[in-house]
Structure 1
Amino acid sequence: MSTTTPPTASAPTTAPVSQQWVLTLSCPDGPGIVHAVAGALAGLGGNITESQQFGDPLSGLFFMRVQVEAATSREDLEAALQPVAEHFAMSWVLDVVGRRVRSLLMVSKAPHCLVDLLYRERSQAMPIDVVGVVGNHPDLEDIATFYGKPFHHVPVTRGTKAGAEARLRELVAELDVELVVLARYMQILSDDLCREMPGQIINIHHSFLPSFKGARPYAQAHDRGVKLIGATSHYVTGDLDEGPIIEQDVARVDHSRRVEDLVAIGEDVERQTLARAVRWHAEHRVLLDGHRTVVFR
């Protein structure tokens, strides 16, 4: 009499899930960079779906942004890219396409940029996760509450500035903040804080920099009879309003416009300019090139 031993059941296997990744890098320019990166990704079965690159003849640096679809883990991707990065002395970042960047919005009294960013986050898939709103005045707390965002009132006076920045540092750490957006926050951040978060703080300036810096730019523009008004979104550095520019836009006006008209038109330009800068940053489309930026749109 013979017996039949049933086959040993094998453990179920789960095939890796295909994932969209985004890789950004910069390094000294030279031959073979694109080939090496593409080869490393292809070695893992990756399919490049988007690729942009730029070699800056002034800085001698090469910049690249690649989106790749691959059924592999982050660890395997990083292991494949690490030798390439070391060979070419790269600075590089790998992330999941569409991951929402944890963001802290800072405001004073003007609501237009805050409302616009919160609306875009909710309704237009802006790839940010607003984890809190900080205001040096309490005026905009109701807007934050309407959108379900925690509001932190952190007053700033000449005597409390150091304490206010200490509180900001605490919030950045507690909330695991990756990006700070000055959405018409009318306070100057210290050099120390700017150095602690390079390329992580975005500001909107209510003029087309470098023109009309400082207070009342629209009144300055009106006094000069300008025909174009604009806005500038830039990374914040210790030099006031001189950080690397991400995006600028303008609107045409004429002699019939009053200061109030310029303010209203300018606020609309500010909203759109800041929104584009924040979106491009969150999509890893902005790379720092010294005092300038490379923006892969």
Structure 2
Amino acid sequence: MPHEWPLDPHSFSKYYAFAPTALALRECIRLQAVRHLELPEPILDVGCGDGVFARLAYPGKQTWGIDINPTELQRAQGTHSYSTLICGNICTVDLPPQFFGSAIANCSLEHVPDLRAALRNVRSALKPGAPLVLIVPTPTWTRRLALTEALGKAGLHSLGNAWGELLDHVFRHVHRIDAATWMRHLEACGFEACEVTMIAQRGVSWAFDILLWPSLVGFLNKKLTGRWVLLPRLRFLTSDLMRISLNALASRVPDAEEAAEYLIVCKARP
């Protein structure tokens, strides 16, 4: 597994200004995992959301964003991350055939019920040999959460499992499948040369779980106002302190064999 700490100060400060700390942490880990990957233009960002990830991951690159949520696309327009934005279902939306040089789906395809329809549509829009990058949860991602582990050590395994199931429901995870199953789906839909890396190690899971509770304020803000953070310009006052605290916490949490997410890189079969 790749080395994930310390957090990049620039990426964390940018995300922390606009997102709850738990989300900023996870997105920074994902950014660190994909930055070394070469993604030829134009890039298709599947499930683009508000566009902050694309702005930090591919600055200056021609990127198209697609999302089924029109409210998220309105926010993405404000980030100026995309040359083109499409509102539609990735399973059925019309995309230009063999147009894109690469594609990425950052924690989006696990929410799509018809996974193979989505993958086939993405494949038809990619040039032969173009890379596709997926970030998806592992089937055991909740096992290394701080609360799940604490309940397990107390002999309350059923409560720990219930906490994990609740989070899967909250985050609307349709697919919690292992790497071999992801590879079978990808190969059946026209992809090859799949490589899988595990990211978001135990320290990330612990910090994410602990930070979920204060981050509930951000989730409530988004429901009521459409924004995670009401006063983003004031967040810089605590950004460095929060980042240093997260780095210190992670350094004290031993890694485990399991991690929370897969980074899958494959290519469109010619």
Higher strand share: 1
Please indicate the TM-score interval, normalised by the length of the shorter structure: 0.3 to 0.5
User: Under a length normalisation based on structure 1, what TM-score does the superposition of the two structures give?
Assistant: 0.35
User: Under a length normalisation based on structure 2, what TM-score does the superposition of the two structures give?
Assistant: 0.38
Whose RCO is larger (CA < 8 A, sep 6+)?
A: 2
